């Protein structure tokens, strides 16, 4: 038995640069994407925004899973992501870096095994580990008091 898994989706053009994404084999509703003007009409997130959202969401889920594994209640998590675009050596636009700041509602003092959790939660994020092979991803974690608990080492 193989450990390999696959994710399938179908993308169909609606109009100009607007596309509808259907997540095959699921009951998930379709997602419309679009480019900002002047190409599109901003009828949905563009691929760059979706990539930043995917990294932030995966990191949030990994942190939450790791905290809950030790019976911690971090309260509501919030993630802010910033994708920085620049031009590559050929002058083409690319995402050069994604910075994600995760915040918990709870104070660090109320959480058990926090050092261990912060030392490994990123390793469980499939999206970040994949994206990091081509794009720098910086991660920071703050507690409910605004205290910086963790910052990944810059790539």
Looking at residue 22, the DSSP 8-state letter turns out to be E
Q: What is the model's pLDDT at position 38?
A: 94
CATH number of 47-151: 3.30.300.20
Phi and psi at residue 59, to the nearest 5°: -65, -40
Q: Return the domain boundaries, the chain.
A: 1-44, 47-151
Tokens of 33: 């994407």
Is residue 153 very low, low, confident or very high in pLDDT (cuts 50, 70, 90)? confident
What average pLDDT does range 132-144 have in this prediction? 94
Where do we find the tokens 């993630």? 79
Question: What does the pLDDT look like over 85-131, one tens digit per residue?
Answer: 999 999 999 999 999 999 999 999 999 999 999 999 999 999 999 99
Q: What is the model's pLDDT at position 80?
A: 98
Residue-by-residue DSSP string for 56-107 = HHHHHHHHHHHHHHTT----SEEEEEEEEEEE-TTS-EEEEEEEEEEEESS-
Question: What does the pLDDT look like over 10-38, one tens digit per residue?
Answer: 999 999 999 999 999 999 999 999 999 99
Question: What does the pLDDT look like over 41-73, one tens digit per residue?
Answer: 999 999 999 999 999 999 999 999 999 999 999
Q: What is the model's pLDDT at position 1?
A: 56
């Amino acid at each position: 038995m193989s450990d390999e898994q696959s994710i399938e989706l179908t993308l169909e053009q609606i109009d100009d640069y607007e596309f509808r994404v259907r997540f095959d084999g699921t009951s998930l509703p379709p997602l419309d994407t679009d480019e900002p003007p002047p190409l599109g009409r901003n009828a949905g997130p563009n691929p760059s925004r979706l990539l930043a959202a995917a990294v932030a969401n995966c990191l949030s889920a990994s942190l939450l899973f790791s905290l809950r594994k030790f019976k911690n209640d971090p309260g509501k998590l919030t993630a802010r992501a910033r994708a920085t675009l620049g031009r590559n050596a050929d002058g083409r636009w690319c995402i050069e870096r994604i910075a994600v700041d995760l915040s918990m509602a709870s104070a660090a003092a109320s959480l058990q095994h926090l050092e261990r959790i912060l030392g490994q939660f990123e390793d469980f994020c499939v999206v970040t580990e994949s994206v990091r092979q081509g794009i720098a991803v910086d991660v920071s974690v703050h507690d409910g008091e605004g205290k910086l608990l963790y910052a990944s080492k810059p790539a």
